[in-house]
């Protein structure tokens, strides 16, 4: 199964007439900039990103969630990297809080010679879980069709995931995920695993704090990537009529490569987030914390989202 970006965009456009029927609409868009410095002479890189999410909830229990990420990464020495990541999830929620549905995700990573890997992955599957005001838990089971440089011309794998969120108050959210992609490659079977935990808290007076830590393990390459970050956001509506949040995040990713080649990537991220609908103050969409609390449905896409 192969779904190209244009087809996903077309599907998203077809859902626009349903917005007027939705009982509740929420979402946000974040325009971001990130500067990263890579240790051991790895140079610097600049990333320009646009992230957006939208959720349309209907009176009959159905909801439609859309998300998209677009990034242009400009490393030293040329060879820009372009990333696009689109997703759609249709879900039904019963009056008891039980949830079930299905999803489609598409990720395209074009290394343009700057990276050793370029990837094109389409994921699709089913979800199920339970949620109330205090606790939300959702599991996913799916499949990914991909073309990944270094793993063979095509690769197919199974995806398993669990995402749990705890909301003790309306101002605090703690969430974590575990994603396992059971890859079938030309090297044989291997696993790509992502797990992490993050939190956000609204301190009042427009200030929001957020932070998280995640780890990704790629068995076949003997590579581990540990990312952690902390940041702060400020709601401009406290001092103006501008409906936007400014944010700053400091993050580091430690790459542990078997046989040498370890490196640290230090990143400073800036963001301008515009919320709409009922969405409150949360971590900005370009933050590590948000990528941990709202992961993609396969470990490869989640890794890319953690980095950018």
Q: What is the pLDDT of residues 177-212, one digit of tens each?
A: 999 998 776 666 778 899 999 999 999 999 999 999
Span 169-183, pLDDT tens digits:
989 999 999 999 987
Domains, the chain, with CATH or none: 5-307 (2.40.160.40)
For residues 159 and 295, the answer to whether their CB atoms sit within 8 Å is no
Q: Please check the confidence at residue 252 and state whether its pLDDT lies above 70.
A: yes
Alpha-helix residue ranges (DSSP H) falling in the chain: 5-14, 288-293, 299-307
Ranking 157-166, 227-236, 251-260 by mean pLDDT, the lowest is 251-260
For residues 202 and 233, the answer to whether their CB atoms sit within 8 Å is no
The H or E element containing residue 199 is strand 188-204
What's the first-to-final CA gap in the chain, in angstroms?
26
The structure's pTM equals 0.85
- CA-nearest of 137, 141, 138, 185 to 159 is 141
pLDDT of residue 7: 45
Q: Please check the confidence at residue 307 and state whether its pLDDT lies above 80.
A: no
């Amino acid at each position: 199964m192969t779904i190209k970006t244009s087809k996903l965009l077309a599907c998203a456009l077809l859902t626009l007439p349903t917005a007027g029927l939705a009982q509740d609409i929420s979402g946000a868009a974040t325009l971001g900039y990130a500067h990263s410095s890579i240790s051991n002479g790895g140079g610097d890189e600049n990333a320009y990103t646009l992230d957006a999410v939208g959720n349309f909830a209907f009176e009959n229990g159905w909801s439609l969630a859309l998300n998209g990420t677009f990034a242009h990464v400009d490393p030293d020495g040329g060879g820009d990297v372009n990333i696009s990541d689109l997703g759609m999830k249709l879900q039904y929620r019963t009056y008891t809080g039980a949830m079930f549905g299905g999803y489609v995700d598409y990720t395209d990573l074009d290394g343009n010679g700057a990276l050793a890997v370029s990837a094109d992955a389409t994921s699709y599957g089913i979800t199920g879980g339970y949620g109330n005001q205090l606790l939300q838990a959702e599991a996913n089971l799916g499949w990914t069709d991909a073309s990944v440089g270094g793993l063979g011309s095509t690769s197919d794998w199974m995806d398993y995931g669990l995402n749990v969120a705890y909301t003790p108050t309306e101002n605090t959210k703690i969430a974590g995920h575990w994603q396992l992609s059971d890859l079938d490659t030309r090297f044989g079977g291997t696993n790509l695993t992502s797990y992490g935990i993050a939190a956000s808290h609204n301190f009042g007076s427009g200030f929001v704090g957020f932070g998280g830590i995640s780890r990704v393990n790629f068995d076949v390459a003997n590579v581990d990537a540990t990312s952690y970050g902390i940041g702060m956001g400020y709601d401009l509506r406290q001092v103006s009529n501008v409906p936007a949040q400014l944010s700053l995040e400091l993050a580091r990713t430690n790459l542990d490569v078997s046989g040498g080649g370890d490196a640290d990537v230090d990143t400073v991220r800036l963001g301008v987030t515009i919320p709409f609908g009922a969405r409150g103050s949360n971590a900005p969409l370009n933050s590590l914390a948000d990528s941990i609390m709202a992961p993609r449905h396969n470990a490869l896409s989640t890794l890319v989202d953690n980095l950018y």
